[in-house]
């Protein structure tokens, strides 16, 4: 598999593999008989995604019943949700395959999503092809192996890839007021010395959901540097009651990091304005 294609996938998921062959295997469908397929990595990734999401839900909703936690789990790791993640990130473009009929279904699914008025995480107009969810799971499995089973590295990567996480407010709006969520902001300095909020993009999404504000809108404001050393500045905009707030983050080497920086500054600003 060409190196530049692997580099593109690494840029998309925000992780650089030490053992590139793992990513190559994670992108190999069983119809590509010349190489080992992703099926074993998919098996591992399925379990990894579940433990990361379940740990997040357990910590985020300390008073939510087990049955509601189970429903949230299903909404976040179901085939439909993972398939839509694969399409949103464009991962289906990088799969090695030999004319498998399932990829005709993938094209149809992409077209069906394009015609939707608003994003959904389940019950779309067309059943999601399982192969799309398999791709996401196999990549997560490959990262887990490449990090030597380090969940401290894997967990934020999984949460970032699966954004937006389906929240209690999304699934159970009728009980939202009875379900407190841990909105504590853990602020630290990143490698550049800039203030950063842990899981900032996810936290901002949850704040907007609980406050019943529209979801954050991210925009790439600036891109500079040569192709191998790109730098990005992103902004985030939210509508707070009758006011529109927009903040740009610090310059970062990845788009995801630049968006996280913008979300961090927005959360800090909301805290200063006593919205949190």
Give tens-digit pLDDT for 256-274: 899 999 999 999 998 888 7
> Is residue 218 within a helix (H) or strand (E), and if so which, with residue range?
strand 217-224
Average pLDDT, the chain: 88
How many whole angstroms separate alpha carbon 60 and alpha carbon 102?
37
C-beta of residue 233 within 8 angstroms of C-beta of residue 222: yes
Binning pLDDT at 50, 70 and 90, where does residue 22 land?
very high
pLDDT at 110 over 60: yes
pLDDT at 202: 84
> Which among 57, 271, 82, 98 has a CA at the least distance from the CA of 185?
271
Q: Give per-residue pLDDT as tens, 184-231.
A: 788 888 888 899 998 899 889 888 877 778 889 999 999 998 877 889
pTM of the model: 0.70
Cα maximum dimension of the chain: 59
What are the φ/ψ torsions at residue 106 (nearest 5 degrees)? Answer: -60, -45
pLDDT at 113: 83
pLDDT at 180 over 60: no
182 or 112, greater pLDDT: 112
C-beta of residue 123 within 8 angstroms of C-beta of residue 80: yes
């Amino acid at each position: 598999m060409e190196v530049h294609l692997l580099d593109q996938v690494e840029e998309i998921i925000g992780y650089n593999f030490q053992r590139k062959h793992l990513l190559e295997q994670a992108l190999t469908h069983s119809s590509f008989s010349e190489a080992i397929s992703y099926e074993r990595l998919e098996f591992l990734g399925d379990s990894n995604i579940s433990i990361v999401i379940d740990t997040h839900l357990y910590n985020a909703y300390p008073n939510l019943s087990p049955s509601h936690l189970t429903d949230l789990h299903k909404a976040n790791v179901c085939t439909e949700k993972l398939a839509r993640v694969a399409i949103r990130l464009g991962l289906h473009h990088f799969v090695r395959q030999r004319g498998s009929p399932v990829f005709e279904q993938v094209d149809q699914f992409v077209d069906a999503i394009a015609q939707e008025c608003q994003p959904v995480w389940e019950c779309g107009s067309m059943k999601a092809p399982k192969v799309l969810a398999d791709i996401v799971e196999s990549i997560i499995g490959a990262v887990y192996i490449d990090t030597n089973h380090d969940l401290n590295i894997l967990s934020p990567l999984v949460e970032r890839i699966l954004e937006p996480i389906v929240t209690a407010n999304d699934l159970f709006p009728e009980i939202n007021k009875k379900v407190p969520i841990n909105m504590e902001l853990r602020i630290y300095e990143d490698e550049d010395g800039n203030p950063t909020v842990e899981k900032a993009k996810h936290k901002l999404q949850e704040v907007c959901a609980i406050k019943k504000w529209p979801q954050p809108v991210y925009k790439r404001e600036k891109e500079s540097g040569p192709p191998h050393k790109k730098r990005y500045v992103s902004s985030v905009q939210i509508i707070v009651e009758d006011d529109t707030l927009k903040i740009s983050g610090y310059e970062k080497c990845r788009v995801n990091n630049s968006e996280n920086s913008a979300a961090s500054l927005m959360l800090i600003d909301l805290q200063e304005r006593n919205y949190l």
